[in-house]
Chains A and B, each alone.
Chain A
Amino acid sequence: MSAANNLNRGRTIEVVGYLPIPPSRTKEFWTRWKIQHIRQLSTTGHATSELTIPLAERTARVLDKVYLRERALPDQHDRISTTVRLAKDSPVELAAPLYLGDMSFGALSGIPNIAIARAADHSKILAGTGEGGLLKEVADCSRITVQWASARFGVSISSLLKGEAVVIKIGQGAKPGIGGHLPGVKVTEPISKTRRVPVGKDAVSPAPHHDIYSIEDLGQRILGLQEATKKPIFVKVGATNYIPYIASGIARMGAAGIIIDGAGAGTGAAPSVVKDNVGVPIEFATASVDAILRKEGLRENFTVISAGRVSTPEDSLKLMALGADITSLGTATLMAMGCLMVHKCHIGYCPAVLTNKITPNQARSLSLQQSTSWVINLIDGWTEEMKLLMELMGVSDVSAITGRRDLLYHRGLNEETATILGLAPGEGRTDSDSIGEHIMLRPPPEQKLWSSHRTGILMDMAGTTGKFPGESEISSMGTNNPPFIEEPVRLADWLVSDGAQVTRPSIDPYREEIEISTFIGGPGLRLSSPFFFTHLPKSISVNLLRAFAKTAVGMGLLFDMDETDGGSVTDFSERLISDITNAAGSRLKSARLDWYLSSPGSASAVSAAADGGAILLLRSTSSRSSIARIVANLGKLGAFAGVILDEDEPTSDLQLEMAVSLLDRELKQRGQRGRFNVIAASNGVRGTEDIFKLIALGADCVGLGKSALLAIGAEEGDKEVVVDAKVSQRLENFVAATQKDIKLLAGAAGISNINSTLTGNRELLRSIDLEPAIRMELGVKPAGVS
């Protein structure tokens, strides 16, 4: 009996229809319109009446500001061809330039895996199989690729010989640089059999391939797999900072092609902090990869497959015109089989029974026949819409579209983004619709900072809600993060961090050492993590204040008393930042300080104490004038170990990101950065991503207050919340989870020490469609540029 049949012994109800689409509480990339469009294709197998995404459905995504140029040629319809070759000299032809995701058995529950493989066979396209080994029914299909991934699940010489190609999976768009983990309880008999792993033991995919730490290592593995299988070898990567170089290297190393998975792509489960902050969108990656391959004479013999948010046939064609040979449908395929985008894959409960836990005797299961037919229809309908669009574009051969940027135009992209994509503006309205520079640079208004989604994550981390206190938040399917879906609020929302792939390995944050400690004023004042508590409301209860002070001591942070009453926490004085006028710090007052305090427009001075030592810090506004003043008076500030730039000061007129970056660069230019710490503080610091990006822009340490209060469920600091051991524990959990989040982002970027490697390392960041003037002042490169 086959593995798939094993799954469905006993009485099960077969699912043969679509469930109604539930209303979405948050902004979604996969809107009702997109889901319905796919359902219509998958039900009928034919084109719909809406070939392009209606204006109202277009998001702030760059690809949504790109349009196909219509220049209809008559009588093309019968001659339109959608056939492409899998790889140069490959005997394999695809009836349409479509590849069906790389979704594993384990991420999907078996029936969908078989439906996808069979549909690919039937429609003569190609399907990936993910790192889950091959079910017998899948192995029996020929139009599949077999994956060689970091854990080697299901890999043997006989499995590698199945299918048309081998895919070396280095990374994926939702979580470049992050490994996978299937808990032992989910490793049931069928999973064990296909993955070739022991039943009941966790199945862990390491973050990097431990035999591939560099480009020549990848070359070694490509050649080795070619020698073993005599098949074309593809390499799958997430779209990250260096994607043009990575693609060029992969081509140079003899691979037949690359699968590039863009930011926002779907996943069975990934840490939210990585999903929301690592990687660049597929349109940037596709265009820059195509450009560099052409420049280096490597494009001809190389297949580029673009994945990640390919939501309509129009998206497929636009990505092809930007440089893809083939586009990959992952989430769209799941929607064809009934996915409702409820983001529940990771908890094993899928209303559409696509991703639920694999056990015998399931109550409900997907109809294999129905789901296969849905996917076949999807491919047919998708292909038909592509043909109709090609007719409008006046192109008869789909493979001729690749790299033809002249078939596209844009509306409302800034000039820099348009340059990187190689696009000209359309006629008529061409003005950039981005937000004015002056507004973007001001500290963000508080009411925009806290979405319920964001607050929910913080509360889960603290254990106020949710089931995993002290752990990073895990979620499934694509992100809806700013700047494209949710509205961007801080400059950080336009910045993404790197995922290390191919040229260097990422680091597993759970099993390998990543140091996140930081130091202020010298090696003596060590913080366990590069953040601290600050800006608690003046009216905060004594008990809550004490909980913060105690957690600062216990978790090795600092606690900036700011305007709160320090008298009640003197027993936790080891880790306090206090105003200089407080008794604790007054002995540090010096002549230099007197001078600074007495000059007009001054900020205050504070002392930071830890483990018996004490240092002196300035507290200053987040503004250009403060920065200029600090820089102009550096010679007189010898008594100070650094400055706290405070975004919440009433006279602050600059976002912390910019203030930190400017001061860091000014200090470096004067050779003074080594002795002067840059500390950022704001109630607008929303969590790990803001901390991490502020450090990369030049901060040593970041202060937060409101996010911690929200996390522990004490949003209103003046209300007496239940303060008992639980609140302390929540705070500790929040710190522990934030530490893990920081390690996740660091590990993904291949950083093993925050203090030496992240601080001021702007090279790790890329901006996404940010105003060029602001980007340059921050000192960050745009996405799509290596």
Chain B
Amino acid sequence: MELDNIAFDRRFGLPNVKDGCGVFGMLRKSGSPMIPSSTAINGISCIKYRGSNLGAGYAAFLTDGKETGVSGNAPYRIQAFVAGEGVVEKIQAALEPHVGHVDSLGTRHIEGGASEIAVWEGHLLTQGSNSDAILEKAVDAVNESLFSDGFHGRIFSYGKYLTVYKEVGYPLEVAQMWGIDQKQSNEADMWIAHTRQPTNSPGSLPIWSHPFASMNTAIVHNGDISSYGSNMELLNSWGLKSHVGTDSEVIARLLDHLLRVEGLTIREAATVLTNPFERNLSAEVKNLLYKYRGARLDGPFAVVAGYADGTDTYLVALTDRSKFRPLLAGEDDHYFYLASEENQIRIQSPKAKIWTPEPGSFFIASLKQGLIEAGTDRDRGLQTSALNQSLSAPQTPALRKMDASAMGFKEINREISAAYSRSEEGVLIENCKGQRYLGIGFSTRAGTGRGRFKIQLTGFPGNCLANLNDGASFEVYGNVADDLADTMHAGSVVVHGSARDVTGQALQGGHIYIRGTVGNRAAIQMREYEGEPPFLIVGETADDYLGEYMAGGVVMVLNLSDSHKPARNYIGTGMVGGRIYIRGNVSEDQIGLLPQREDVLHYLYSQTLDGVVSKDAYQKIASADYPSVQLISNYLPREVVMRVLTLFFATKYTKPVLVERRRLDDKDMKVVGDRLRDFFGCFGLSDDLLAKVLGSTFTIIRPREEKVEGNVPPQETPIEE
């Protein structure tokens, strides 16, 4: 087979294979029906566009004895890819001295899969408390010998409670190759599934397809971790030597080992892997993170993991600190879901409760215990409650209707342009099924239309809706996905549900109203250029980095359901213009990027040693939750405050923002009043609620106009381009 020579030249080390993708996971609740393979296939196939024909796969978890969970004597299921003659015999010969007889279940060629590669499966029954470790060691050794001079084969699964089906192809093709596409043919307690988008494809071998299994753990993953090198070195130091070079395999083995060998609880293991920020950690967590620092993950990841220990079956999701990769969790009466995009869950369960786990969080559910960690401590109903009230669009006879369920985005966009050039009022696009780019490149300032145009949508439009919007009025009767209204110049977007990450990036004209919640990085780089300021108004809550890099315009988060956390962290970081209004309590350490508490306190302490700062003032500051600028200014001389600001709170590029907590005054109302009333009108919200909002305290965030002293004069600052 054709392999990338450099990638396989061991002089240069193991290649670090990189890919992106879509993920899916589904677990049944106790007493609920088993999940057929067809459900997993549908759940991943509907986002086929996230992947490619270069890899897909599934893992089915099934514990015999079902709900009783007693299956101590289950056999290990060995699954291997084999390339060439004698490989099966080699595998058996390598395993048997360590683990006893291996029953061969036969070898089969995978029709349509990677050429010259077959799959061999075997069973082995081995007793003893140490059998897992002995088997793992033997598997690692044989895998290493099969991969040392080119590729000859690889054991890719060897647990008791799971079966992995993976190959080179699209998800449906892979299911067909393995013959699991027949309805009801394979049922399981839990499925995870994956479609792969490799940046490159050294030889297109199925060993790079997901899921990656390690004993009774398997994962699918979307991301590319920057900690790969450190993680790999930890695995090597644990004696695990044979790898295929993907970060996903590394994560599978780390999770398995933390649980099975290191004896961590699933919550502890998830904590280590998600690598929480140092702020506000307990001593126990700090110890855990120190001990397993090589197991901590960094960089983007959205991991969906399955794990069974013979007594219970767990579905786990891990998100990175910044939630760089999409991940949604869902729940209905019978099942838990994890997915990259909303339509993956909606096609199975239109009314499921769907929410986004927060950055740096984890989701855990088990067959027996139900939901253990939701990945958010907010009201999970909020993201969908608004939506469930109004799923269908009001019937406007003037609008041309089209059923989008079988249409591609190009076709829909052509229809939009055509309707506009016929001087029609607008279009109603029904039953969207995740189509991206709707309305992109459309402008009411060009062409022959009336200069205004309505685009109404129902269903679930995909990413990049209304990008570059230049005058159209979008109204969505449902949720929208990521990257809504990027670089919008004019017009409006009204969403009756919620929006996910990066809503209104570089918004520079017009307004966006979201009835529900927004995800990470809403209104980043929003700016005011000419004319009226742009607006983003959110009915409920926002996640991290709201208004990052903001240079103008107005953001309002109304928190209409009174969540205890209207917005998450790093609000207005790097903000240079505009205003953010958040209704409800936002603490000072949620705003901007602040220095670590210890670092500031160390500095102040050192100033007590030669008497610059009094011990008394230091004690007062140190006993507070956080040594904020305000607090320091209250107790310390101006020179010291300026020095602390320069060293810790400000840089040449970023200055602390101004924060006020108060009701909206007349000046505010002059700017936001009309828009606020318009928002309430759009969603049919009551005057009482508006009065309540206007009577509430807002946290108002804006950049300091004056320069922070202690920094250099502005005319000296360099151009950095």
Residues on A lying within 8 angstroms of B by beta carbon are 104, 106-107, 130-132, 151-152, 155-158, 160, 180-186, 192, 196-198, 201-204, 206, 210-211, 213-217, 219-221, 223-224, 227-229, 242, 244-246, 248-249, 252, 267-270, 288, 291-292, 295-296, 345-348, 355, 357, 416, 420, 467-468, 470-471, 474, 500, 502-505, 507-508, 510-513, 515, 517, 519, 522-523, 526, 528, 550-551, 553-556, 571-572, 574, 667-671, 673-674, 729, 732, 736, 740, 749-753, 755-764, 772, 776, 779, 781-782, 785-786
Residues of B within 8 A of A252 (CB): 52, 198-200
Q: Does B167 contact A (CB under 8 A)?
A: no
**6 A-B pairs with least C-beta separation:** A763-B229, A554-B606, A249-B199, A228-B441, A761-B229, A248-B200
Asked if A763 and B228 sit within 8 Å, CB to CB, the answer is yes
Chain B residue nearest to A551 (CB atoms) is B606
Asked if A753 and B300 sit within 8 Å, CB to CB, the answer is no
Asked if B446 and A158 sit within 8 Å, CB to CB, the answer is yes
Residues of A within 8 A of B200 (CB): 244-245, 248-249, 252, 292, 296, 786
Residues of B within 8 A of A295 (CB): 2, 4-5
Contacting B506 at CB < 8 Å: which of A151, A553, A781?
A151
Chain B residue nearest to A755 (CB atoms) is B293
Instruction: Mark each residue of chain B from 276 to 320: 1 if its CB lies under 8 Å from any CB of chain A, else 0.
Output: 011000010011011101101011100000000000000000000
- Distance in angstroms between the alpha carbons of A158 and B445 in the assembled complex: 10
Residues of A within 8 A of B366 (CB): none
Asked if B6 and A288 sit within 8 Å, CB to CB, the answer is yes
- Distance in angstroms between the alpha carbons of A210 and B523 in the assembled complex: 11
Asked if A504 and B224 sit within 8 Å, CB to CB, the answer is yes
Q: Does B473 contact A (CB under 8 A)?
A: no
Contacting A181 at CB < 8 Å: which of B275, B277, B720?
B720
A-B contacts, 26 listed (Cβ < 8 Å):
A151-B506, A183-B718, A185-B715, A186-B717, A196-B508, A204-B549, A214-B222, A216-B20, A217-B20, A248-B200, A292-B200, A502-B199, A503-B224, A504-B223, A510-B593, A511-B570, A512-B593, A513-B321, A515-B596, A550-B606, A553-B606, A674-B294, A750-B226, A751-B298, A759-B293, A786-B16
- Distance in angstroms between the alpha carbons of A90 and B506 in the assembled complex: 31
Asked if A752 and B647 sit within 8 Å, CB to CB, the answer is no
Residues of B within 8 A of A519 (CB): 290
Nearest chain A CB to B45 CB, angstrom units: 16
Contacting A782 at CB < 8 Å: which of B12, B198, B226, B505?
B12
**Could you say which of A151, A192, A357 has the most chain B C-beta atoms within 10 Å of its C-beta?**
A151
Q: Does B336 contact A (CB under 8 A)?
A: no
Instruction: Mark each residue of chain B from 500 to 515: 1 if its CB lies under 8 Å from any CB of chain A, else 0.
Output: 0010011010000000
- Distance in angstroms between the alpha carbons of A132 and B234 in the assembled complex: 45
Asked if A224 and B230 sit within 8 Å, CB to CB, the answer is no
Asked if A227 and B410 sit within 8 Å, CB to CB, the answer is yes
- Distance in angstroms between the alpha carbons of A736 and B645 in the assembled complex: 12
Q: Does B256 contact A (CB under 8 A)?
A: no
Asked if B226 and A756 sit within 8 Å, CB to CB, the answer is no
Chain B residue nearest to A733 (CB atoms) is B647
- Given contacts A228-B440, A468-B712, A512-B593, whether A213 and B325 have CB atoms under 8 Å apart is yes
- Distance in angstroms between the alpha carbons of A197 and B19 in the assembled complex: 36
Taking A523-B283, A556-B598 as given, write out 19 further A-B residue pairs in contact, using a Cβ cutoff of 8 Å, ordered by the A residue number.
A152-B525, A158-B445, A181-B653, A210-B505, A242-B16, A242-B199, A267-B721, A503-B20, A503-B199, A515-B277, A519-B290, A667-B237, A668-B233, A668-B236, A669-B236, A673-B294, A753-B296, A776-B11, A785-B7
Asked if B576 and A229 sit within 8 Å, CB to CB, the answer is no
Q: Does B443 contact A (CB under 8 A)?
A: yes
Residues of A within 8 A of B299 (CB): 500, 504, 750-752, 757
**Could you say which of B4, B298, B489 has the most chain A C-beta atoms within 10 Å of its C-beta?**
B298
Residues of B within 8 A of A572 (CB): 606, 609
Q: Does B165 contact A (CB under 8 A)?
A: no
Nearest chain A CB to B301 CB, angstrom units: 9
Asked if A198 and B529 sit within 8 Å, CB to CB, the answer is yes
Asked if B652 and A468 sit within 8 Å, CB to CB, the answer is yes
Q: Does B333 contact A (CB under 8 A)?
A: no
- Given contacts A196-B508, A210-B521, A211-B486, whether A736 and B224 have CB atoms under 8 Å apart is no
Asked if A202 and B573 sit within 8 Å, CB to CB, the answer is no
Asked if B21 and A216 sit within 8 Å, CB to CB, the answer is yes
Chain A residue nearest to B298 (CB atoms) is A757
Asked if B596 and A156 sit within 8 Å, CB to CB, the answer is no
Instruction: Mark each residue of chain B from 569 to 582: 1 if its CB lies under 8 Å from any CB of chain A, else 0.
Output: 01001101100000
Residues of A within 8 A of B5 (CB): 295
Asked if B15 and A786 sit within 8 Å, CB to CB, the answer is yes
Q: Does B409 contact A (CB under 8 A)?
A: yes
- Distance in angstroms between the alpha carbons of A563 and B524 in the assembled complex: 53
Asked if B720 and A763 sit within 8 Å, CB to CB, the answer is no
Chain A residue nearest to B486 (CB atoms) is A211
Contacting B609 at CB < 8 Å: which of A157, A196, A553, A750?
A553
- Distance in angstroms between the alpha carbons of A44 and B150 in the assembled complex: 56
Asked if A228 and B468 sit within 8 Å, CB to CB, the answer is yes
Residues of B within 8 A of A183 (CB): 714, 717-719
Nearest chain B CB to A498 CB, angstrom units: 8
Residues of B within 8 A of A755 (CB): 293
Q: Does B331 contact A (CB under 8 A)?
A: no
Residues of A within 8 A of B357 (CB): none
B residues 48-64 with Cβ under 8 Å of A?
50-52
- Distance in angstroms between the alpha carbons of A759 and B643 in the assembled complex: 31
- Interface of B (DSSP majority class): loop
Q: Does B197 contact A (CB under 8 A)?
A: yes
Chain B residue nearest to A574 (CB atoms) is B605
Asked if A760 and B229 sit within 8 Å, CB to CB, the answer is yes
Instruction: Mark each residue of chain B from 548 to 577: 1 if its CB lies under 8 Å from any CB of chain A, else 0.
Output: 110110000000000000000010011011
- Distance in angstroms between the alpha carbons of A555 and B502 in the assembled complex: 36
Residues of A within 8 A of B576 (CB): 184, 201-202, 204
Residues of A within 8 A of B12 (CB): 781-782, 785
- Distance in angstroms between the alpha carbons of A292 and B8 in the assembled complex: 13
- Distance in angstroms between the alpha carbons of A502 and B506 in the assembled complex: 20
Nearest chain B CB to A497 CB, angstrom units: 11
Chain A residue nearest to B227 (CB atoms) is A757
Residues of B within 8 A of A248 (CB): 199-201
Q: Does B716 contact A (CB under 8 A)?
A: yes
Residues of B within 8 A of A267 (CB): 721
Residues of B within 8 A of A158 (CB): 443, 445-446, 470
- Given contacts A503-B199, A515-B277, whether A211 and B483 have CB atoms under 8 Å apart is yes
Asked if A198 and B552 sit within 8 Å, CB to CB, the answer is yes
Contacting B719 at CB < 8 Å: which of A130, A269, A503?
A269
Asked if A182 and B720 sit within 8 Å, CB to CB, the answer is yes
Asked if A296 and B201 sit within 8 Å, CB to CB, the answer is yes
- Distance in angstroms between the alpha carbons of A205 and B144 in the assembled complex: 45
Chain A residue nearest to B321 (CB atoms) is A752
Asked if B721 and A182 sit within 8 Å, CB to CB, the answer is yes
Residues of A within 8 A of B593 (CB): 510-513
**Could you say which of B222, B289, B324 has the most chain A C-beta atoms within 10 Å of its C-beta?**
B324
Asked if A671 and B599 sit within 8 Å, CB to CB, the answer is no
Asked if B716 and A756 sit within 8 Å, CB to CB, the answer is no
Residues of B within 8 A of A348 (CB): 718-719
- Distance in angstroms between the alpha carbons of A185 and B172 in the assembled complex: 57
**Could you say which of A249, A268, A511 has the most chain B C-beta atoms within 10 Å of its C-beta?**
A511
Asked if B527 and A106 sit within 8 Å, CB to CB, the answer is no
- Given contacts A515-B278, A555-B602, whether A346 and B720 have CB atoms under 8 Å apart is yes
Asked if B50 and A216 sit within 8 Å, CB to CB, the answer is yes
Asked if B226 and A751 sit within 8 Å, CB to CB, the answer is yes
B residues 512-560 with Cβ under 8 Å of A?
521, 524-525, 527-529, 545, 548-549, 551-552
- Distance in angstroms between the alpha carbons of A271 and B236 in the assembled complex: 36
- Distance in angstroms between the alpha carbons of A38 and B482 in the assembled complex: 48
Nearest chain B CB to A429 CB, angstrom units: 26
- Given contacts A201-B577, A242-B18, A753-B275, whether A211 and B505 have CB atoms under 8 Å apart is yes
B residues 639-658 with Cβ under 8 Å of A?
643, 646-647, 651-654
B residues 444-470 with Cβ under 8 Å of A?
445-446, 463-464, 467-468, 470
